[in-house]
Amino acid sequence: MAENSILGRQALLIVDMSNDFVDDHGGLTAGKPAQKIVPYIVSLAGKFHQEGKPVIFCMDAHHEHDPHFKLWPPHNIVGTWGAQIYGKLGEWYEAHREEPGVIFVPKPEYDAFIGTNLDQILKSLHVETVHLTGVCTDICDFLTAYGAYSRGFRTVAYNQGMATFTGQHDIFLKQMKAIFKTEIIS
C-alpha cells in the first residue's frame, strides 16, 4: 500500500478523446492525427493503471444551447454519440471504469480545472505531477497544462499522445515547456 501511495503522486489526464473530437464524423474533429495517438494513450493508460496511478478522463460536456457553440460547431453534447470516449480508448475505459483510480471528469471549459472538481480529486490522491495526453494540443491540452501549473502541479506532456486540427501542435508543446516548465516526452 505504501508503494501505491508514492506512485499515486502522478496521474494521467486524458483530455477530450471523444467521438466528436477524434472520429472522422465528429462535430469538431482533429481526425487522423487524433486517431493516430489512440494506441499510444491506451498503452499509457494501461501502464499507469497497472502501476496504481490514477487515470482521469477529462471530457468536454456541453448542453444543446451551450455558449461554446457561438465559436465552435456543436460537439460533446451530453448523452450523445459524440460525447462518448472514442474507439479502443472507450473500450479500455468501459473495461476499467469501476476500478479504483479510473475517474471520469466532465468539464464545461477548455481548462479541465475550471468548473470541475479535478483539483480536489488530484489533491485527495496526493498527486504532484499530472501527465497530459489528448486533444487539442493548442486548446484544451495547453489550457489544462496552465490550470495544473497555476495550482502547483508539475506537468508532463506527451508529444506522441497529443494532436490538434490547427497545425500548431509543436508550437504549443514548446510554449508549455517555456511557460509552464512542462516536461515534454517525445
pLDDT in tens, 148-173: 999 999 999 999 999 999 999 999 99
- Is domain 2-185 in CATH 3.40.50.850, yes or no? yes
CA atoms within 13 A on the CB side of 56: 27
| pLDDT value for 7 | 38
Assess whether pLDDT exceeds 70 at residue 8. Answer: no
Provide the H-helix boundaries in 9-99: 19-22, 32-50, 87-96
Report d(CA 124, CA 6) in Å as an integer.
13
Within 10 Å of residue 114's Cβ, how many Cβ atoms?
A: 14
Alpha-carbon distances, residue 147 vs 35, 43, 63, 99, 132 (angstroms):
25, 25, 23, 26, 12
Amino acid type, 117: N
Amino acid type, 91: E
Share of the chain above pLDDT 70, in %: 96
Assess whether pLDDT exceeds 80 at residue 112. Answer: yes
| pTM over the 0.75 mark | yes
Assess whether pLDDT exceeds 70 at residue 2. Answer: no
Assess whether pLDDT exceeds 70 at residue 21. Answer: yes
Tell me the mean pLDDT in the region 45-60: 96
Tell me the mean pLDDT in the region 81-109: 97
Question: If 0-12 CB within 10 Å is exposed, 13-18 middle and 19+ buried, where does residue 113 land?
Answer: buried
| pLDDT value for 171 | 96
Tell me the mean pLDDT in the region 114-133: 96
Tell me the mean pLDDT in the region 16-37: 96
| pLDDT value for 5 | 43
| pLDDT value for 68 | 87
Q: How far is residue 116 CA from its own chain's centroid?
A: 13
Grid cell listed for 137 = 494540443
Grid cell listed for 33 = 492525427
Q: Where are the domains of the chain?
A: 2-185
Share of the chain above pLDDT 90, in %: 91
Tell me the mean pLDDT in the region 97-102: 95
Average pLDDT, the chain: 93
Residue 135, C-beta contacts closer than 8 angstroms, at least 6 positions apart: 15, 16, 17, 21, 22, 30, 34, 37, 141, 162, 163, 164
| pLDDT value for 104 | 98
Report d(CA 52, CA 46) in Å as an integer.
10
Assess whether pLDDT exceeds 70 at residue 6. Answer: no
φ, ψ of residue 97 in degrees (nearest 5): -60, -25
